[in-house]
Structure 1
Amino acid sequence: MPTRATERRSAPADTEPPEASEPPASPYAFFHPRVVRVRRLSPSLVRVVLHCPELSGLVSGGGDQRFKLFLPRPGQTVPVLPETTDDQWYARWRAMDPRVRGVMRTYTVSGARPDEAELDVDFALHGDLGPASRWAQAARPGDRVSVLAPVATDNGGVDFRPPAGTDWMLLTGDETALPALASILAGLPAGTRVKALIEVAHPEDRLPLPTTADAEVTWLVRDPAAPDRTAGVLAALAATPFPAGTPYAWLAGEAACVRAQRRHLTGERGMPRGAITFSGYWRLGRTEDQLLDEAAAAAAGS
């Protein structure tokens, strides 16, 4: 699965399912579900539940499994996508009129229930109210979307991969990373030692995170008046005592904040670069469309 600004291939939506003993031709496929339920989880989070019979084939390769969500533009009832769903879908989507083509965003699987053919998507509502936030707040049962989601566990859309021999884990993220953090913690073996720092906008965003891991979770409520968004997280990280043993760190959230944390860990804390997985889920002041344009321009100039 692509990172926040890269491409991944998909399988044709109309191909026959492979034999049980054969891997799928591609680890991804397009689905075209409808909204069945919407629930406000907290001031900053809205959960939208999607359903279509084909989602019974959706799988997850890990706690931070990514997928692509396509939303209709204002005035449309369904997202406009290329007619082809082969491995050229991304190039064809990029070639479409950006005022018409479906809005594409990257999300984490918040929950998947193949027996019910349902997929949960949790939307973080930023103050800028971009197209995804606006859509999520107005979503109603029956609304239609499209998703490019995994149909094989080995799909490249999972970053959380602690190496063998890891003694303890550091997890950090903001509200955009809460779905991944919740899934990661829920899936850890009992007794796994974890330090987690989670920054949110409101005290009510501190949601339950069930786990059998030996997890110490520190919630940080962001000061909206703070001139430096990274300062609070960095101060809390610097004050966090690290256990002895081999660490593994997973960092996600706003890109600049994630980079600052990585620099602190490799510098002041001496953590090996290879022991850190980091993902900029979003960038302050930039949309995913702008990041995709920048990535395309960089690729064209290389």
Structure 2
Amino acid sequence: MQKPRTFIYGILLGLLGIVLFSSKAVMVKLAYKYDVDALSILLLRMLFSFPFYVVIAFIYRNKDIGVTLLKKDYTWVVFFGFVGYYLASYFDFVGLTYIKASLERIILFLYPTIVIILNKLFLKKRITKIQAGAIALTYLGIIITFWNEVAISGSNTLLGGFFILLSAIAYASYLVGSGWLIPKFGIMKFTSYAMIVSCFCVFVHYGISAQESIFGYPWQVYLLGLLIAVFSTVIPSYLVSASIKMINSSNFAIITGVGPISTIILAAIFLNETLTLLQFFGALMVIIGIFLVSLKKRNN
């Protein structure tokens, strides 16, 4: 049984990490105004992030938490680093070339429901009636918001939404895996290792497929790349890992409902994006669904 104070701290850390992660979509869309492609801005994100993770991994390399690590544990770290931060990030950045930031975050919110389903399938965690009802309400809200945008923006929204959905599935897999690997490695070591893996994946991807040099973009692109790396990658990645350890992956997945709302607000301020009344109604349904599921913590 979790201590109330620990649960509250876990929620607060998770909320801060979610808001910082949510700002990423807005900064990526700002970078796209300078004609930078998805892979290049992703490379800048990882290049600026890489030194932080290497230093932190070195500092915590000998930290022993009393658990014997096996070769398969490291194999899982590589797998989840590949899937959870490389594939999820790449699909997300590509999807953002087709749809607006506020819609991206709403669609990406599907991953909490995927987390719960994966936890049910692989970790045998029970889905409560409150969770099931709230998930259904949340899906309905997302569908309303998404299809209204298709009517407004056309078929490219479907393609962008498909890539964001792939990102949601990949990131959900990471959340489920990190839930049982973090206690073995510790928060700092696991997050650093997983992110180093994802950085190398992006470096290899860029080296194989890039058509243009990473040099020559306006200075604003590199500044945005640095901001994305520090405030939307490094800092929130550790906050999220800490939150997952304190409240478990299912509870963390639920509070991510704050993400769409913070992105909508930031997109309105910095990108002049607007949502229709129907889309706001769909977002409200998402919020209500999140509130209903959050009631589950009273039973923990």
TM superposition score normalised by structure 2: 0.23
Structure with greater proportional helix content:
2
Structure with greater proportional strand content:
1
Asked which structure has the greater RCO (Cα within 8 Å, sep 6+), the reply is 2
